Amino acid sequence: MKTTKTITDRVCVISFDGRLDTVTAPEVQPEIDAAIDECKNITLDFSNVPYISSAGLRILLAGHKRAAAAGGSLKLVHVSDEIMEVFEMTGFADILTIEGDKRR
């Protein structure tokens, strides 16, 4: 999993490239935590994420809770239909802020 972080107007944007699964989630978790400490408001760009496992879901939920506790937010953008289907089946679509979600 390759990640790229940019900061614009006190919003950290983390772009992912690869699968968010059991192997990569432990690598990504500290990056999300550090971004929350630095910016509080986080945008996760899922343009190049073809797959997410339960381990990936777990770190998104933890990041969402941690950002909210810090008075910030965590938002996902450019989520593919396949990943959105996983979010809908697991109920994460009702928990996470997903930009461009046509249901909202």
Q: Please, what are the domains in the chain? A: 2-98 (3.30.750.24)
Local confidence band at 11 (pLDDT 50, 70, 90 cut-offs): confident
**β-bridge mates for residue 37, sequence order:** none
pLDDT digits (tens, 9 = 90+) for 73-93: 999 999 999 999 999 999 999
Cβ–Cβ < 8 Å for 14, 47: no
Does residue 60 surpass a pLDDT of 50? yes
Q: Find the mean pLDDT for residues 47-69.
A: 96
Please report the pLDDT score of residue 96 as a whole number. Answer: 95
Eight-state DSSP code of residue 24: T
Q: Please name the amino acid found at residue 89.
A: M
Cβ-defined contacts of 91-95 (< 8 Å, 24+):
92/57, 92/60, 92/61, 95/61, 95/64
What is the C-alpha separation between 54 and 45, in angstroms, rounded? 18
How far is residue 84 CA from its own chain's centroid?
A: 12
pLDDT digits (tens, 9 = 90+) for 23-57: 999 999 999 999 999 998 999 999 999 999 999 99
| Predicted TM-score of the model (pTM) | 0.90
Q: Find the mean pLDDT for residues 14-31.
A: 95
